[in-house]
Amino acid sequence: MCRLPLLALLGVVLALTGCAQGRDAKRAETLVTGPIKVNLDLKDPSMSFGVLPRGEDRLVFKVGSGRHGVTCAGSRFEEGYTPLGTFKVNAILSNGRFVMDPKLIAESGQSEAALKQTLFPSMNAIDFDGDGETGEYGIGYISLAPVASVKQPFGFNRYAGKFRWYSFAIHGSNNDKRIGQKVTGGCLNVAEPELKTLLGAVRLGDEVHITANGPCTP
């Protein structure tokens, strides 16, 4: 059997250790290091933006919001309105990633394996507008739960025969013209390149702070 000299073996070990530490450091840099902040411009929706902090880096991205406006923090959820306030990520869904609060998995009545395989594809196959177009969540869906006492009236259900998780979320779109516009049912929509970064960076429990530069609807 060929044996490496002790010094050579030590060099290999140190090199491998250095690679592992480098990978860990790179991974740490990509994760969220503070609250994601979203500021909605009620006068000019195209100027609404979010900021994703990752160490010293900041990713600034354009967002779209609810077609009717915003509701005040801690007040209520209503179709067509984006709620203001502080939220925490409770699920991350895409074709390549599935992470969900264990309590939600139990609430769904399905196994984690089944949800991982079918939930997002099923949700994204729904034609919400009846115009023959699907994929309205784009490449992913980041579900947000309010930190305040107001509970969102959403959950698991079936829509057009497809099982889905219906919640307030940051998600993609099948039409880039919708990004930066007041067109959603209340969710925040983000273009694919930035959403791809978000999907890889966020973790369960990360906070999202949503504010606006104008009056909210009580």
H/E segment holding residue 115 = helix 112-124
- Kindly state the average pLDDT of the residues 120-130: 93
Query: What's the whole-number mean pLDDT along residues 50-59?
Result: 94
Please give the structure tokens belonging to residue 51: 């900021």
Burial 118-147 (b: 16+ CB within 10 A, else e): ebbebbbebeeeeeeeeebbbbbbbbbbbe
Per-residue pLDDT tens for 149-168? 888 889 999 999 999 999 99
Mean per-residue pLDDT, 71-99: 96
Residue at 29: amino acid letter: E
- What distance, in Å, lies between the first and last C-alpha atoms of the chain? 77
Q: What is the pLDDT of residue 151?
A: 86
Instruction: Return the pLDDT at 216.
Output: 96
Q: What are phi and psi of 180, to 5 degrees?
A: 80, 20
Helical ranges in 4-80 per DSSP H = 6-30
Helix (H, G, I), strand (E, B) or coil at 19: helix
pTM of the model: 0.86
- pLDDT at position 5 is 52
Report percent pLDDT > 90 for the chain: 78
Q: Which of 111, 109, 136, 112 is nearest to 122 (CA)?
A: 136
Q: Dihedral sign, CA of 124, 125, 129, 131? A: positive
How does DSSP classify residue 174?
S
The arithmetic mean of pLDDT across residues 100-105, rounded, is 98
| pLDDT number for residue 129 | 80
